[in-house]
């Protein structure tokens, strides 16, 4: 009784400190929740995770994931992909590669299983691809919780919308999000413009590319400033923009190689 | 006869003797090996790294190893050093002199805390050296990745070592409490490891109150989360690995939490030991 009372009094007295520390430590991390913990059972990683070996446990489990993926294991692959990101949510590659496995590879495995050599009806094919894309997009939505500013996650979501779901509108929206991210690759903004064109929104694409070109460094090959300018000219021709209203490419400073 | 008052000097003497006893039992040797394994394991295991950058991985694996081996040391050393006195009957000789039982318990605990401090200090220093060496190598091979100089927050790594020591101190105090009434060191070691696992999973008990259907479960989990120390509170390595700074106020809060539990556990251990027939 003395034990219980002392422990309860100590716990109650330290509760405000505990709450304060928990608030101060608060950072987005995939700490195991009660509902998730059962998923760890049988994978031999519980002890490692409890001990603080999150990165190592996740890496070893990722090896196991690859093995299941190579064996085209439909049930184990997505479970392990989820488990890896649950153990260590920090590396982006687990989220991105996992989403690709689910969206593209698993869709093909299911199609091969369903068809058994015979052609799969288009509506079934569409449904399977849609289901897999949806699961992959859910995983990437979860990734955004931990990597809110990551352009790579937005690009991945855009790619799944574009190549799996063939949804140009959604893909364009995600490429635009990627282009606005702090670590945005140059190509995200270019692809966004291309997708606007594919939707017939030429004027918007033209304005977007004009604004984009002003910001591009001339000395960076990846920025492909020349390609963007060529596309602007192409659109000017298509939109029949008057000569005096055409985009005047900014003069490049010889020293800084910037407009 | 006038009874001798409580003496911190005697506590310090017993703590010093405990450290010497640990040295006789080759515990520092084991400790040194564990610290070397801590650093070496982090270096070797980086080949398994797929996700994080090498430095983050080294930090994560290094601190993880420091915690695992440290927990083993805290539990085993505490139980071993306590029960060796009882089994060899030297405790009777000590307590026949004007030494309080409280002084004996606190001295034992103080000695183990010093051992753990040495372990954490050595382990953190090795890990810091390893990170410094690898970072320098990476900086010279790929300077573009380090435009602003070194990236690892070494002060944060040192604070992680300090937080680890506090956590191991709580674990040692808990093991001492069990040892103070247990009849065998095996039992104390077993309960110590069980407490380590429970303390790490205690945050799951925080989730259970969300389930409105089970009143007993809610009440039980609430009581459990109040009674035992939550070791997830000490998981600050993620912050440092993410490149964030570790505020001193946060470390201070963790220290208050740890010291509170250490005081409660050692106080209860004194109470149990005073009731114990030797």
Residue B165: closest CA among B79, B247, B262? B262
| Identity of the residue in B48, B237, B257 whose CB atom sits nearest the CB atom of A17 | B257
Those of residues 8-47 in B touching chain A at CB distance below 8 A are: 45
Interval A166-193 mean pLDDT: 94
Q: Cα–Cα distance between A52 and B196 in angstroms, integer?
A: 12
Which chain B residues are within 8 Å of A52, Cβ to Cβ? Answer: 60, 63-64, 67-68, 235, 237
Confidence bin at B110 (pLDDT 50/70/90): very high
Partners of residue B63 in chain A, C-beta under 8 Å: 52
Quick one: pLDDT at residue A87?
80
Is residue B258 a contact partner of residue B165, using CB atoms and an 8 Å limit? no
With 80 as the cut, is the pLDDT of residue A57 above it? no
Look at phi and psi of residue A253 and say left if phi exceeds 0, alpha if psi is from -120 to 50, else beta.
Answer: beta
Residue of A nearest to B177 (CA): A3
Average confidence (pLDDT) over A55-84 = 87
Q: A242: helix, coil or strand?
A: coil
What is the C-alpha to C-alpha distance for residues A97 and B103, in angstroms, rounded to an integer?
59
**Tens digit of each residue's pLDDT (9 = 90 or more) over A19-42:** 888 888 765 444 444 445 445 544
Tell me the pLDDT band of A256, cut-offs 50, 70 and 90: low
* CB-CB under 8 Å, B242 with A17: no
Q: Contact at 8 Å (CB) between B199 and B228?
A: yes
Question: Mean pLDDT: which of A84-93, A175-184, B54-63 is highest?
Answer: A175-184
Q: Which of A6, A11, A54 sits opposite B60 (nearest CB)?
A: A54
Distances B43 to B35, B57, B61 between C-alpha atoms, Å: 13, 9, 9
The predicted model scores a pTM of 0.70
Q: Is the ipTM of this complex over 0.90?
A: no
pLDDT confidence bin for B213, thresholds 50/70/90: low
Note whether A27 contacts B57, CB cutoff 8 Å.
Answer: no
- Among B30, B55, B28, B58, smallest CA distance to B45 is for B58
- CA B262 to chain centroid: 11
A2 to B244: CB separation less than 8 angstroms, yes or no: no
Does B217 score more than 60 pLDDT?
A: yes
Selected residues 179-198 of chain B with any CB under 8 Å from a CB in chain A: 197
Q: What is the pLDDT of residue B30?
A: 76
**Residue with the larger pLDDT of the pair B52 and B168:** B168
**Residue B88: per-residue pLDDT:** 86
Q: Answer yes or no: is pLDDT of A159 > 90.
A: yes
pLDDT digits (tens, 9 = 90+) for A104-152: 999 999 988 776 767 788 888 999 999 999 999 999 999 999 898 899 9
A4, A8, A21: residue with CB nearest B257: A21
The two most distant CA atoms of chain A are separated, in Å, by 91
Residue A113: HSE in the Cβ half-sphere, 13 Å Cα cutoff: 10
Q: Which residue from A minimizes the CA distance to B241?
A: A90
- Residue B208's pLDDT band (cuts 50, 70, 90): low
- Predicted confidence at residue B99, as pLDDT, reads 85
> Closest partner residue to A12 among B63, B226, B267, by Cβ?
B226
């Amino acid at each position: 009784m003395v034990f219980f009372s002392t422990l309860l009094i100590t716990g109650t007295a330290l509760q405000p400190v505990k709450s304060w520390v928990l608030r101060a430590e608060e950072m987005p991390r995939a700490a195991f929740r009660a509902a998730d913990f059962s998923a760890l059972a049988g994978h031999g990683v519980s002890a490692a995770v409890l001990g603080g070996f999150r990165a190592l446990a996740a890496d070893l489990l990722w090896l196991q994931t690859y093995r299941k993926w190579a064996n085209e294991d439909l049930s184990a692959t997505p479970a392990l992909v989820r488990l890896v990101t649950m153990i260590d949510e920090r590396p982006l590659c687990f989220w991105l590669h996992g989403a690709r496995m689910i969206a593209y590879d698993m869709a093909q495995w299911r199609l091969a299983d369903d068809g058994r050599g015979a052609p799969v009806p288009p509506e079934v094919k569409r449904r399977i691809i849609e289901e897999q894309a949806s699961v992959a997009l859910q995983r990437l939505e979860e990734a955004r919780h931990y990597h809110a500013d990551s352009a790579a996650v937005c690009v991945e979501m855009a790619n799944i919308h574009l190549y799996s779901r063939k949804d140009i509108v959604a893909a364009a929206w995600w490429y635009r999000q990627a282009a606005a991210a702090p670590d945005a690759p140059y190509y995200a903004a270019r692809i966004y413009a291309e997708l606007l064109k594919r939707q017939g929104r030429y004027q918007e694409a033209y304005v977007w590319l004009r604004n984009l070109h002003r910001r591009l460094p001339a000395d960076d090959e990846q920025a492909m400033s020349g390609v963007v300018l060529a596309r602007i000219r192409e659109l000017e021709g298509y939109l029949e923009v008057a000569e005096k209203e055409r985009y005047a490419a900014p003069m490049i400073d010889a020293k800084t190689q910037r407009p | 006869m006038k009874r001798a008052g409580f003496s911190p000097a005697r506590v310090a003497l017993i703590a010093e003797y405990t450290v010497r006893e640990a040295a006789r039992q080759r515990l520092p040797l084991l400790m040194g090996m564990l610290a070397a394994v801590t650093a070496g394991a982090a270096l070797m295991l980086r080949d398994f790294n797929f996700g994080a950058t090498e430095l983050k991985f080294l930090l994560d694996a290094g601190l993880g190893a420091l915690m695992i081996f440290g927990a083993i040391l805290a539990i085993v050393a505490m139980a071993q050093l306590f029960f060796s006195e009882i089994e060899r009957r030297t405790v009777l000789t000590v307590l026949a002199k004007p030494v309080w039982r409280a002084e004996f318990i606190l001295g034992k605990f103080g000695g183990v805390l010093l051992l753990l401090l040495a372990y954490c200090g050595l382990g953190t220093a090795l890990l810091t050296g390893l990170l410094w060496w690898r970072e320098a190598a990476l900086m010279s091979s790929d300077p573009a990745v380090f435009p602003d100089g070194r990236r690892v927050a070494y002060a944060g790594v040192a604070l992680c070592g300090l937080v680890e020591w506090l956590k191991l101190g709580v674990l040692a105090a808990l093991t001492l409490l069990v040892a103070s009434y247990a009849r065998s060191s095996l039992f104390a070691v077993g309960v110590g490891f069980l407490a380590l696992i429970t303390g790490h999973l205690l945050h799951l008990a925080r989730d259970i109150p969300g389930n409105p259907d089970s009143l007993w479960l809610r009440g039980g989990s609430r009581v459990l989360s109040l009674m035992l120390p939550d070791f997830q509170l000490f998981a600050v390595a993620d912050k440092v690995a993410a490149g964030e700074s570790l505020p001193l106020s946060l470390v201070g809060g963790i220290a208050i939490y740890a010291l509170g539990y250490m005081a409660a556990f050692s106080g209860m251990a004194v109470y149990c030991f005073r009731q114990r027939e030797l």
